[in-house]
Amino acid sequence: MAQAAAIALACAIVLAPYSGAIEAADQGRQRQAAAGAYTPARTPDGQPDIQGFWNPVGTFYNIQDLEFQSVYQNFRPSDPERRGKSLIVDPSDGRIPYQPWAAEKAKLVLEHHADPTPQLLDPNARCFLQGVPRHLNNREFEIFQPPGYVVFFNMAHHAYRSVPLNGGPHIPDRIKLWMGDSRGHWEGDSLVVDVTSNNDQPWFDVVGSFHSDALRVAERITPVAADTIEYEAVITDPKVYTRPWTMRLRFERIKDYGTELYEEACFESNERTLDLMLHRPGR
């Protein structure tokens, strides 16, 4: 019975965000059309200057359904009527094009995410690195542009990702990393980054949207106004999806934050709490 309800819920999620996704895509096109109107300043080594503190717009609890968090925050069963926009602009239904086995797994995590078993616990909650793109669609981050590089710093988990711009080759794909291997270049005012060597652990969101170690991310990061960046990621993973898919969102400059990130020693602080959670009676 519970299973039937869950399947019904999953179907509702699949059908609902059509209009939202199309609207988001339209907004994206409008923003990109406006991009030509803005020319960012240059760093000393000639890069478009996108340095500073940025916030992803919205809270991306569920990248396929941005209003999901508001109905799930109290960890009550969600109301299928209250469905919102997806970050996914391709395919046009706003859904991750999982292969059938992968859709089953994703459903399992979604059902249990509010009271997970250890195996279903969000890796972000365990202080593991968030991976690409989640480290940019989770919380605040900083962009730093020393000569020849774009470097991202997260306050969460003191994560960093450096993107060399020197045209060097990727590391051997035999090496798998939580944050992958990024290689970038500027195409006009857009930073284009190819991310390989991803491991299979990070999720895309709190509800377990996932990938395998065959993940490849093609990012395009475009400043469209002094305080706005357009972010697009094309996600390819032939082990898990039936086709590549694209998510798009905006970053807005944080102006009231000061100019320094603090240390968040996540693992050092959470170790005991997580241990209690994972080993509590009944687990």
* Footprint of other proteins (CB under 8 A): 44, 101-102, 105, 109, 118-121, 123, 127-129, 144, 146-147, 149, 151, 153, 157-160, 162, 164, 168-169, 171, 175, 177-179, 181, 200-201, 210, 212, 239-240, 260-263, 265, 267-268, 271, 278
- Other CB atoms within 10 Å distance of the CB of residue 94: 30
| 10 vs 208: CA distance, rounded Å | 14
For other proteins, the closer of residues 120 and 254 by Cβ is 120
Min separation Cβ 201 and other proteins, Å? 7
For other proteins, the closer of residues 59 and 162 by Cβ is 162
Min separation Cβ 207 and other proteins, Å? 14
Calculate the CA 68 to chain-centre distance.
Answer: 16
Min separation Cβ 212 and other proteins, Å? 5
Min separation Cβ 273 and other proteins, Å? 14
For other proteins, the closer of residues 187 and 260 by Cβ is 260
For other proteins, the closer of residues 23 and 264 by Cβ is 264
Q: With contact defined as beta carbons under 8 Å apart, do 142 and 159 qualify?
A: no
For other proteins, the closer of residues 50 and 109 by Cβ is 109
Q: Which residues contact 121 (CB under 8 A, 6 or more apart)?
A: 277, 278
SS3 194: strand
For other proteins, the closer of residues 8 and 265 by Cβ is 265
For other proteins, the closer of residues 161 and 248 by Cβ is 161
Enter the tokens of residue 24: 């988001």
| 10 vs 8: CA distance, rounded Å | 5
Residue 233 has phi, psi (to 5 degrees) of: -130, 125
Min separation Cβ 246 and other proteins, Å? 21
Give the DSSP letter of residue 116.
-
The DSSP H or E segment spanning 24 is helix 18-35
| 55 vs 24: CA distance, rounded Å | 18
Q: Which of 218, 222, 206, 220 is nearest to 244 (CA)?
A: 218
| 126 vs 71: CA distance, rounded Å | 24
Min separation Cβ 151 and other proteins, Å? 6
Min separation Cβ 76 and other proteins, Å? 25
